[in-house]
Amino acid sequence: MSLSATATWHLTATEIAEGIRRREFSAEAVARDALARLDEANPAINAVVQFMPEAALEAARSVDGAIARGEDPGPLAGVPVTVKVNVDQAGFATTNGLRLQSELVAERDSPVVSNLRRAGAVIIGRTNTPAFSLRWFTRNSVHGHTKNPRNPAITPGGSSGGAAAAVAAGIGAIGHGTDIGGSVRYPAYACGVQGLRPTLGRVAAWNASGPERAIGGQLMAVSGPIARSIADLRLALKAMAAPDARDPWWTPAPLDGPDFPKRAALCVRPEGMATTPEVEAALRDAARRLQDAGWTVAETPVPPLREPARLQALLWLAESRRGLNKALIAEADPDATFVFAQMERLCPVPDLHAFQDALQARLTFCREWNLFLERYPVAIMPVSAEPPFPDQLDVTSPEAFDRVIEAQLTQVGLPLMGLPGLTVTTDLSGPAPLGVQLVAGRYREDILLAAGAVIEAAGAPIRPV
């Protein structure tokens, strides 16, 4: 029995791609339904801020044409997806949440957008981000304020808050996000969906519309998928990780590595994080789910995160102090101005020696984490020390900002080592979603997805709001 085309927006990407290949419904019908859902749900949450209905329908017709000719339409055949406004998509402004860039129209697609298209995905819109893509909240002066569809009183996360809010609301099955300090992992947590930060070099990225990234961004920033199921993350990663020579960091590592022992490390309070009882309960619940499936879980400290987080901030601000602060003044976004002031308060200006010392120390932390993750192929730790924050908490006072950044230790510290991380939602029964973060060794996203699937399977499926 075929599904009605008007009932496809709530399906997973895996279900949509399989249904289109089996011709249970056409890609064009799916795209029309996704666009109707966008029109219905987006006004309340402002997740999608750039629109392309005709281009989406044209892409869907191309998928249908390929299937009619007996050709392989790609792993994401006809799946509706969204793309974040901080990556180049030909014909659209790469605003990065800035009025200054509202006319910065890309002439060509970034590698991640190219790979999504080649995989058969249908891009239905572009999603919101805070100014400069630097907050765990999503509001800016050009596109406005994104709300969390599960609870408008809490943040949708950031900087990929638009992407996670869209996926949670059923606006597309997959959202593209970027992560340099939690910008995939935290929005997935806040919106009660699943989010994968891949290993550095796994997903090719480059914006021809802007200058080359400084070394901090090169070492720590990645693109990754947000979805409502672990299976969809796996499908999206396969598409996003295709080769593209435009990114010299891209690495031809296999998506599936060798067998690994089912052994996990549980760390409730990494380096003394003030983990709340609700978050601790989620962590212990996830550990029990793995144990029930035959995994061995040991409660143990993890390698350092505080010093990596400090060095991460040092490298971020070393970049901004070389030029971004001029743009900060010109943009005059009140949220960004306040956030940068607090970050600079917490991070003194480094000299050249301190900058070189940071890059040198990075190797030591990479080594420590590599060795730890050989013993424990998965580390279970908080996404945040607290449940998702009240919306806009960070800009209410310097003290509130300090509370937020302390709770986000694992978000900021891990990218220095270029490691992959996975947010798995475990509980949607309360006023704020809860979940856990899994960490694995470099290019072992397969381990994260395997463990994440076990945790997911022991809970309730994630449905669109």
H/E/C letters for each residue in the chain?
Answer: CCCCHHHCCCCCHHHHHHHHHCCCCCHHHHHHHHHHHHHHHHHHHCCEEEECHHHHHHHHHHHHHHHHCCCCCCCCCCCEEEEECCCCCCCCECCCCCHHHCCCECCCCCHHHHHHHHCCCEEEEEECCCHHHCCCCCEECCCEECCCCCCCCECCCCCCHHHHHHHHCCCCCEEEEEECCCCCHHHHHHHCCEEEECCCCCCCCCCCCCCCCCHHHHHHCEEEEEECCHHHHHHHHHHHCCCCCCCCCCCCCCCCCCCCCCEEEECCCHHHCCCCHHHHHHHHHHHHHHHHCCCEEEECCCCCCHHHHHHHHHHHHHHHHHHHHHHHHHHCCHHHHHHHHHHHHHCCCCCHHHHHHHHHHHHHHHHHHHHHHHHCCEEEECCCCCCCCECCHHHCCHHHHHHHHHHCHHHHHHHHHCCCEEEEEEECCCCCCEEEEEECCCCCHHHHHHHHHHHHHCCCCCCCC
Residue 112 near residue 204, CB atoms below 8 Å = yes
Better-predicted residue by pLDDT, 403 or 214? 403
Q: What's the confidence (pLDDT) of residue 349?
A: 85
- Superfamily name with CATH number, domain 5-457: Amidase signature (AS) domain (3.90.1300.10)
Q: How confident is the model at residue 419 (pLDDT cuts 50, 70, 90)?
A: very high
Q: Report the distance separating Cα 194 and Cα 425, nearest Å.
A: 6
Checking if the pLDDT of 79 tops 50, the result is yes
Q: What's the confidence (pLDDT) of residue 3?
A: 41
Share of the chain above pLDDT 70, in %: 98
Checking if the pLDDT of 197 tops 70, the result is yes
Q: What's the confidence (pLDDT) of residue 4?
A: 43
295-350 pLDDT, tens digit each: 999 999 999 999 999 999 998 887 777 766 789 999 999 999 999 999 989 988 88
Residue type, 74: G
Q: Which residues of 360-374 are buried (b: 16+ CB within 10 A; e: fewer)?
A: eebeebbeebeebbe
84-123 pLDDT, tens digit each: 999 999 999 999 999 999 999 999 999 999 999 999 999 9
Please choose, from the candidates 204, 194, 81, the residue with its C-alpha nearest in 3D space to the C-alpha of residue 421: 194
Q: What's the confidence (pLDDT) of residue 323?
A: 67
Q: Average of pLDDT values for 160-167? A: 99
Q: How confident is the model at residue 26 (pLDDT cuts 50, 70, 90)?
A: very high
Q: Average of pLDDT values for 52-70? A: 98
Checking if the pLDDT of 13 tops 90, the result is yes
Strand pairing report for 139-140 and 174-179: unpaired
Q: What's the confidence (pLDDT) of residue 319?
A: 72
Q: Average of pLDDT values for 41-60? A: 98
Q: Average of pLDDT values for 133-142? A: 97
Q: Average of pLDDT values for 191-199? A: 98
Q: What's the confidence (pLDDT) of residue 5?
A: 47
Q: How confident is the model at residue 371 (pLDDT cuts 50, 70, 90)?
A: very high
In the numeric block, the tokens 């052994």 are attached to 263
Q: What's the confidence (pLDDT) of residue 322?
A: 74
Checking if the pLDDT of 254 tops 50, the result is yes
Q: What's the confidence (pLDDT) of residue 317?
A: 80
Checking if the pLDDT of 426 tops 80, the result is yes
Checking if the pLDDT of 1 tops 50, the result is no
Q: What's the confidence (pLDDT) of residue 203?
A: 98
Q: How confident is the model at residue 7 (pLDDT cuts 50, 70, 90)?
A: confident
Enter the pTM of the model.
0.97
Catalytic residues: 84, 159, 183
Q: Average of pLDDT values for 437-452? A: 98
Q: Average of pLDDT values for 213-241? A: 96
Q: Average of pLDDT values for 417-439? A: 98
